[in-house]
Structure 1
């Protein structure tokens, strides 16, 4: 897939994910986890994650990108509003802070991209897909976990009897 096509696909996917986050929806987040997993897989399959001419530097940049993706996703997850309705269903909706965190995520990714290019690394669309898959996946997972914590889902029933 060409870089332009991949870039457009990534922009569409991110726009759709943000659109869905701005709507009130169940906090379970399974659809978003599948989307994130597909992005990670596509990023890995696309290849080009490491520059063979600058292997050590590209591995360091990859590690920094992965940590940044996870940290930014965790930050965005904390900005999502989660509540439980009268039926006991957990709901989520992004806030203005979530949008601000998304802008920071895009700026951080662009900064890492340009830092790699300035250092002489060959950059690929696969790394962008991997970054987005990781950041969207961790955000979705943490939002779903917060929703389960509010509803008590996933907890083992108490076995202690007085």
Structure 2
């Protein structure tokens, strides 16, 4: 399989997602969740996640990467500002801490890639696609949950939830 188009698109999608998070957006929008789901599914369906020569080690590293991806998404979600406007609509906007958490997420993913290489595992770009899909999905889901919690709790407009 030719991974070149995927290798080119993953950083572009990730940059676009980070750029959009830095803008003020309603938390009720689900586009980011759908994007994350598509990325995760494509990452799994296209294969190359498991190295058949080192099956147990490869599966173990994949599970560690998945857990770390979700954990980083949870962490970044806590750095996003969520509030209600005067009409009761929940909004969100990433902060400088979110950007820093994204940089840490990228560094961790690169570290996991090199750890796999050092262990002798072959990898494909689809592993990155799955990682990015999981981490974006976790963050988007939790930010949306915070927005729904604000709206349903009957909080006053202008309330900020961290």
Identify the residue that residue 61 of structure 1 maps to in structure 2: 61
Q: CA deviation at 1:3?
A: 3.2
Distance 1:35 1:64 in 2: 22
Distance 1:29 1:75 in 2: 20
Q: CA deviation at 1:46?
A: 1.0
Identify the residue that residue 88 of structure 1 maps to in structure 2: 88
Any gaps of 5 or more consecutive residues in structure 1?
154-162
Distance 1:89 1:4 in 2: 41
Match of 2:82, SS state, is strand
Structure exhibiting the larger radius of gyration computed from Cα positions: 1
Match of 1:120, SS state, is coil
Report runs of 4+ in structure 1 exceeding 4 Å deviation. none
Distance 2:2 2:115 in 1: 22
Distance 1:3 1:25 in 2: 33
Q: CA deviation at 1:8?
A: 1.6
Report the aligned-residue RMSD: 1.1
Distance 2:105 2:29 in 1: 20
Q: CA deviation at 1:21?
A: 0.2
Partner deviation per Cα, 1:85-132 (whole Å, 9 max, x = no partner)? 010000000000000000000000000001001110010111111100
Is contact 1:29–1:143 with CA below 8 Å preserved after alignment? no
Indicate whether 1:125 and 2:130 are aligned.
no
Any gaps of 5 or more consecutive residues in structure 2?
154-162
Indicate whether 1:3 and 2:22 are aligned.
no
